[in-house]
A and B are shown apart, each in its own frame.
Chain A
Amino acid sequence: MTAIDPTAHLTAEQIEQLGRELDAIRDEVIADRGEKDAAYIRKVISAQRKLELVSRGVLLFSIFPPAWLLGTAGLSVAKIMDNMEIGHNILHGQWDWMRDPKIHSTTWEWDHVSPSEQWKHSHNELHHTYTNVIGKDNDLGYGIMRVDEDQRWHPFHLGQPLWNFLNACFFEYGIAAYDLELGKNLHKRRRKNPEFRARAKAVGRKIRKQVLKDYVIHPLLSGPSFLPTLAATFTANLVRNIWTHSVIMCGHFPEGVQVFERRSIRGETRGQWYLRQMMGSANISGSKAMHFMTGNLSHQIEHHLFPDLPSNRYAEVAVKVRALFEKYELEYVTGPLPKQVFSAWRKVFRLSLPNNKPKVKTPDREQELVAA
């Protein structure tokens, strides 16, 4: 937590005004949403499928190094597209308004070991509602890391740079375990809970299918290229995992991002909710290609303000949102990917050690409301 509350200069009335201005931005996009947006997501989906098909086709000959390289690169990109610009965003319901049952949050399944259904709960419901609230939002360190001075230090945290690295490499499994709340549920009593068992089974089934496809069927189809194909899919998954992990770390971990105390969100108004999303997220700056490959999570701030607006609109929304940050004298945390990744990692290292900084409180909204 930063020493000074960066929103202290705002009055309650200003915060509500800010909320209304954000609502207006949202309404504008919704009113204008239509054919072009639909064409966009269809084009992306079709491009992803073609790229995956071609890459897997090329990998049939991956015994030849150039084919291996090309196929692996293509498959990595295809997997990133599937998880980021397509999967993450469809599962947010960003495209539900099209009423196309094939591109709908209730029917979409992604190339990931965590079943869509479970991920939607832990991500859309928990993380997006309780963004950066210590003890409520488990995305803060995924339950294995300490990412804020206010979190209690434990000797376990000494290893967190290593945990974080391993998590990056096997990120999709980390997410699946996280969605299952494995840490909490592995206790003896909870393990037997039928609801947990059903969910664990679903994950098991998904893992089996994914592993069978990537590490058995496709290599087998490649015949003499069995081993190179195996290595290629492993590499593609690794690249995708490290990439998505990096992008996601940039969303809430870099320096300058605020975290909040549990009691600070009691009685939170719409304006305050918006403000928390603004202060709790960070962007990645860069080219159009960069935004695309991050699934537009480079516009994390905009995404957290409007998680269900179509991702292709975040870039234009960002201009207006940034203007509001300036108007209300707030810090818009953004930077190029390497800088943000470095910043997040530095925090992981720094907080692996105990701190003895004095604790500073975030403003208590409830008290403020009473006072107002």
Chain B
Amino acid sequence: MTSTALRSRAWKLLEMVTTPLLPSDYLDLVSPLRAGADLRGRIEAVHPETGDAATIVIRPGRGWRGHTAGQYMRIGVDVNGVRLWRAYSITSPTNRQDGRVTITVKAIPDGKVSNHLVRRAKPGTLIQLDQPTGDFVLPQAKPAKVLYLTAGSGITPVMGMLRDIEFDDVVMVHCAPQPQDVIFRNELHDLVADKKLRLTEVHTDTDGMLDIARLDGLVPDWAERETWACGPAGLLDAAEEHWTEFGVQERLHTERFRPSIVVAGDGGEVTFSATGKTVDADGATPLLDVGEEAGVLMPSGCRMGICFGCVTPLKSGAVRDLRTGEITEAEPGVLIQTCVSAAAGPCDIER
């Protein structure tokens, strides 16, 4: 017998010993970060960055596969006893020696998870993790000139890039309300002092929102640069339009953090057929929230339409995509993202 076959036999036996639980249920008691466990991490430190942002240092479990600069990871945090999942960009470089990773979180008004992480998270806390993903990353071949166009917490994936790889010619345009709101400001200024970065800060409280047409003045050669942009939808929409207009859209890479939600009417009776629950839903509440409120165990991740951690079969009826207004109708094999879909009439979700 091969050693893998032997090991799987031994594991089967172990499962018989622990039934109806699994061996891992017991192992988790002593070693939640071991190889083979569900991926978790332990918060080891929380460093304030600005008045409302902090960097969370996480030791990931042994199963962590590592990330590429610019990627994000989903974390599941228990806030007031309820497990909530969110996605955050990774801000640590890929070659960090101690095996830890960091995310940098900005507390958004009414943000349950962000406020918890910035103000209440304690070192030692276990959190759930997913492997890093996302294609907002740098290419294999080094571009000659780079532009980072960021706003607010949109700087976080870019910081991961900046810390990871040095380019010869890098310009950054970053928008924040005031100087003290600029996350990583000291580090950025150090890079500037070392001539590793040219930085333009746009302070929107005094300068107003960045008008994309001003880019010509700020970065005259923007069109020649490989550009990574991350920030609110308005900025990214404008950038996409601008780059397209000048026919250089393939040089622009964007990452959207939150969907712009359109309020649509309708709604209807939603049945969660696997659980046998039926509830009324309006046309603006994501089905993910509707299900969770009704006590259905809904898979979820970023809750903003990017991770597909929430896809669930739509068995009947129709749903509206809250970002685009697009209607999806049930058909065999149709999966919907419950976090960005609302009921457009009665529907049946297989959960």
Contact = CB atoms under 8 A, between A and B. Distances in A.
Interface string A30-43: 00011111110000
A189 interface: no
Residue from B80, B84, B292 having most chain A Cβ neighbours under 10 A? B80
Contacts of A221: 17
Contacts of B17: 213, 217-218, 221
Contacts of B29: 46, 49-50
Interface in A101-156: 101-102, 104, 106-107, 109-111
A101 B297 contact: yes
A100 to B, nearest CB: 5
Contacts of B81: 33-39, 97-98
A98 to B, nearest CB: 6
Interface in A61-103: 93, 96-102
A50 B275 CA distance: 32
A372 B52 CA distance: 60
B111 interface: no
Interface residues of A, number: 34
B25 A49 contact: yes
Nearest to A125: B276
B83 interface: yes
B20 interface: yes
Given A33-B81, A110-B20, A213-B19, A97 B295 contact: yes
B16 interface: yes
A209 to B, nearest CB: 5
A110 B16 CA distance: 14
A33 B80 CA distance: 8
Contacts of B297: 96, 99, 101, 104, 106-107
A210 interface: yes
A44 interface: no
Contacts of B275: 106
A115 to B, nearest CB: 9
B82 interface: yes
Given A49-B29, A101-B297, A106-B297, A217 B16 contact: yes
Interface in A322-372: none
B39 to A, nearest CB: 13
A200 interface: no
B41 to A, nearest CB: 16
Given A49-B25, A50-B29, A107-B297, A99 B16 contact: no
B26 interface: yes
A99 B20 contact: no
A111 B83 contact: no
Contact of A35 (B21, B80, B292): B80
A34 B80 contact: yes
Residue from B20, B275, B298 having most chain A Cβ neighbours under 10 A? B20
B19 A99 contact: no
B78 interface: yes
Question: Which size bracket describes the interface of B in this complex?
Answer: 20 to 34
Contacts of A212: 16, 19
A53 interface: yes
B167 to A, nearest CB: 42
Contacts of A101: 297
Nearest to B81: A38
Nearest to B128: A100
B20 A38 contact: no
Interface in B80-98: 80-84
Given A49-B29, A101-B297, A106-B275, A213 B80 contact: no
B38 to A, nearest CB: 9
B274 to A, nearest CB: 8
Given A98-B78, A98-B82, A49 B26 contact: yes
B78 A213 contact: no
Nearest to A216: B16
A284 to B, nearest CB: 28
Contact of B20 (A35, A96, A111): A111
Interface in A204-250: 206, 209-210, 212-213, 217-218, 221
Given A209-B20, A210-B19, A212-B16, A53 B26 contact: yes
A53 B17 CA distance: 11
A221 B14 CA distance: 11
Interface in B1-56: 13, 16-21, 25-26, 29
Contacts of B18: 213
Contacts of B83: 98-100
Interface in A276-309: 308
A99 B295 CA distance: 8
Nearest to B276: A125
B121 to A, nearest CB: 13
Given A49-B26, A93-B295, A98-B83, A38 B78 contact: yes
Nearest to B16: A217
Contacts of A50: 29
A109 B295 CA distance: 18
A109 B20 contact: yes
Contacts of B292: 99
A106 B276 CA distance: 11
Residue from A100, A110, A218 having most chain B Cβ neighbours under 10 A? A100
Given A33-B81, A110-B20, A217-B16, A96 B295 contact: yes
A213 B292 CA distance: 36
13 contacts: A35-B81, A46-B29, A49-B21, A49-B26, A53-B26, A97-B81, A99-B292, A99-B297, A209-B20, A210-B20, A213-B17, A213-B18, A218-B17
**What are the nearest 8 A-B pairs in CB distance?**
A38-B81, A109-B20, A34-B80, A99-B83, A34-B81, A35-B81, A96-B295, A209-B19
Given A53-B26, A99-B297, A101-B297, 20 more contacts: A34-B80, A34-B81, A35-B78, A38-B78, A38-B82, A49-B21, A49-B26, A49-B29, A96-B297, A97-B81, A98-B81, A98-B82, A102-B25, A107-B297, A109-B21, A210-B20, A212-B19, A213-B16, A213-B17, A217-B17
